């Protein structure tokens, strides 16, 4: 048996309430939803994190996430807004190490604030960061 719970969901040995599946991705209800209607979109292939998800699969995840957001807005669940949220790495709050995109229905006053202290950065810091990323982006595929 595969140790990865999302691979077990894909294989049918772990139970999930499936919303959609196709050749590249599947979507199922999150077992511990932030809000009712919370869906996870996962690649069929095992990919630990964002860097291992091929563009074609990532594009399908995004497309399905976008469509699920529309479906949630049209559904009876309380949905005044939608978060698409992907946690890549433990420091980013990834807890299941099979890449997954959260599609979370949101409403004013719900219990998932996603807020922290923020302050405008100095322009020099922004320019340095942009220059570093421009250079590195050429080497990351």
Cβ proximity to Zn ion: between 7 and 84 the closer is 7
* Cβ atoms of residues 5 and 97 within 8 Å: no
Distance of alpha carbon 74 from alpha carbon 103, whole angstroms? 14
Which of these segments, 45-53, 74-82, 118-126, 133-141, binds Zn ion (CB under 5 A)? Answer: 45-53
35 Cβ partners below 8 Å, 6+ apart? 77, 78, 104, 105, 106, 107, 110, 112
In angstroms, give the least distance from the CB of 38 to Zn ion. 19
Per-residue x/- marks for Zn ion, 6-35, CB under 5 A? xx----------------------------
Return the residue of 38, 60, 98, 102 that touches Zn ion, per CB under 5 A. 98
Which residue's C-beta sits nearest to Zn ion? Answer: 4
* Cβ atoms of residues 51 and 123 within 8 Å: no
Catalytic-labelled residue, pool 2, 46, 98, 100: 100
100 is catalytic: yes
Distance of alpha carbon 135 from alpha carbon 24, whole angstroms? 31
Return the residue of 8, 20, 44, 46 that touches Zn ion, per CB under 5 A. 46
Kindly state the number of chain residues that form the binding site for Zn ion, as judged by CB under 5 A. 5
At 95, is the secondary structure helix, strand, or coil?
coil
Per the listing, tokens 């996430």 go with: 65
Q: Provide the binding-site residues for Zn ion, judged by CB under 5 A.
A: 4, 6-7, 46, 98
List residues with catalytic annotation: 100
């Amino acid at each position: 048996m595969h140790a990865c719970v999302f691979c077990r969901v894909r294989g049918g040995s772990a139970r999930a309430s499936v919303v959609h599946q196709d050749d590249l991705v599947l979507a199922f209800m999150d077992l511990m939803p932030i809000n009712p209607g919370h869906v996870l979109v996962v690649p069929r292939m095992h990919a630990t994190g964002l860097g291992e998800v091929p563009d074609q699969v990532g594009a399908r995840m995004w497309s399905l996430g976008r469509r699920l957001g529309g479906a949630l807005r049209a559904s009876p669940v309380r949905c005044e807004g939608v978060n698409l949220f992907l946690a890549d790495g433990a420091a980013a709050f990834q807890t299941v190490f099979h890449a997954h995109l959260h599609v979370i229905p949101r409403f004013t006053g719900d219990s998932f604030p996603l807020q922290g202290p923020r302050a405008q950065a100095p322009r020099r810091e922004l320019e340095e960061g942009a220059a570093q990323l421009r250079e590195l982006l050429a080497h990351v595929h």
